[in-house]
Amino acid sequence: MALILHAGSTNKNAYKALIAAEYSGVDVKLVEDFQMGVMNKSPGFVKMNPIGKVPVLETPDGPLFESNAIACYVVRLKENNPLLGSSLIEYGRVEQWIVL
């Protein structure tokens, strides 16, 4: 079953998770008919992210916010995912691009 990502379809921060998902073979879908400034301010959304910002990913273990954290979570869902690197220098290089 797909993990649901809360954000609009043109949100650049949501693209990080969607691209990571595509490269990792993980099923992530944007929530339908997202309306910025409306849905992300609803009580249900604020329970998922108290600062009311997108993206937020619904996971089986609860919601996750911050796009970099979401992208890393998605990548780690695939065992031995080469996107994570396989040596200290590769881990560092992955990290350096994530925090930019």
Nearest to 29 by CA among 44, 13, 14, 45: 14
Q: Which of 15, 31, 66, 81 binds ligand GSH (CB under 6 A)?
A: 66
65 in helix, strand or coil? strand
Residue 24 binding ligand GSH, by CB under 6 A: no
Residue type, 43: P
Pairing verdict, β 28-30 and 56-59: unpaired
Q: Which of 3, 28, 54, 75 binds ligand GSH (CB under 6 A)?
A: 54
Residue 67 binding ligand GSH, by CB under 6 A: yes
Residues engaged in binding ligand GSH (CB under 6 A) = 11, 13, 40, 52-55, 66-67
